[in-house]
Amino acid sequence: MPQETMLLSRICIRNTDVSSFQELIGIIQNTNFEGNCLLEIDIKPDYPDTPRNWEPLIEEAFIWSGRK
């Protein structure tokens, strides 16, 4: 089964109304990514509240996405 790659930039482009890092995390957590999907972090989110350790937070939100 081939793996689909989801770009972080694509998530940001699809959600232009997001205005904070915490909102972005919420979007990622509440998205049900289909099947075998990998996340490629191709950009740094440009929000005033983006923390220094933003990458592991994005990865964690992606790993647990759609499981609530």
- By CB atoms closer than 10 A (0-12, 13-18, 19+), residue 4 is exposed
pTM of the model: 0.88
Predicted confidence band of residue 14 (pLDDT cuts 50, 70, 90): very high
Report pLDDT digits (tens) over 25-68.
999 999 988 777 899 999 999 999 999 999 999 999 999 887 65
Rounded CA separation 45/24 (Å): 9
- By CB atoms closer than 10 A (0-12, 13-18, 19+), residue 46 is exposed
Q: Which residue has the tokens 């950009």?
A: 43
| Structure confidence at residue 3 (pLDDT) | 77
DSSP label at residue 12: H
Question: What number of CA atoms fall less than 13 Å from residue 43's CA on the CB side?
Answer: 12
